Structure 1
Amino acid sequence: MFKIIGINLFIFALYAFLIVFSSAASDRGFSIAIGMGFCMFIQVVLNIIAGIVFLIMDKQEWVKSFFISAAILAPVGFITWLILLSIYG
């Protein structure tokens, strides 16, 4: 369970890092607002879909891991998004 949560948090940190440091300084606030918000939304939705698929396949440990990962990513991602937007926006 902790592997899936750790991998999801690592992926989140990786694309947050890439969005912040690969965009131009003048466009950084817009890139964070749109790009990071969209990526975070897609990652949470994919975790929920994966949880539903594993629920149908009756793999309870995987279901719990993906749902908990989505529940952790939503507030952590939103708070990180707000902090980065207040710094660079």
Structure 2
Amino acid sequence: MLKIIGINLLVFVIYGLLIILNTSPSNLGFSIAIGMGLCIFIQVMLNVVAGVVFLIMGKRELMKSFFISAGVLVPVGFVTWLILLSIYG
């Protein structure tokens, strides 16, 4: 379970860094607002879909891991998004 949560948080950090490092300073606020918000939404939805698929398949441990991972990503992603937006936006 911790491996799946750790991988999801690592993916979150990687695309956050890619958005911040690969955007010009004049467009950084817009890229964080739209790009990072969209990436967080997509990652949470992929975790929910994976959780539902594993629920249907009957693999309860993987299902629980993906649902917990989605639940962790929502507040962590939203707070990080707001902090970065207030700094760079």
Structure 1 segment 2-13 matched on structure 2, within 5 A: 2-13=2-13
The offset of 1:12, in angstroms, is 0.2
The offset of 1:16, in angstroms, is 0.3
The offset of 1:83, in angstroms, is 0.1
d(CA) in 1 for partners of 2:33 and 2:22?
14
Counterpart position of 2:68: 68
4+ residue runs of structure 1 moved beyond 6 angstroms? none
Counterpart position of 2:55: 55
Mind listing any 5+ residue stretches in structure 2 that lack a counterpart?
none
Alignment TM-score, normalising by the size of structure 2: 1.00
Counterpart position of 2:31: 31
> Which letter does structure 2 place at the counterpart of 1:38?
L
Alignment TM-score, normalising by the size of structure 1: 1.00
Mind listing any 5+ residue stretches in structure 1 that lack a counterpart?
none
Sequence identity percentage: 67
> Which letter does structure 1 place at the counterpart of 2:67?
F
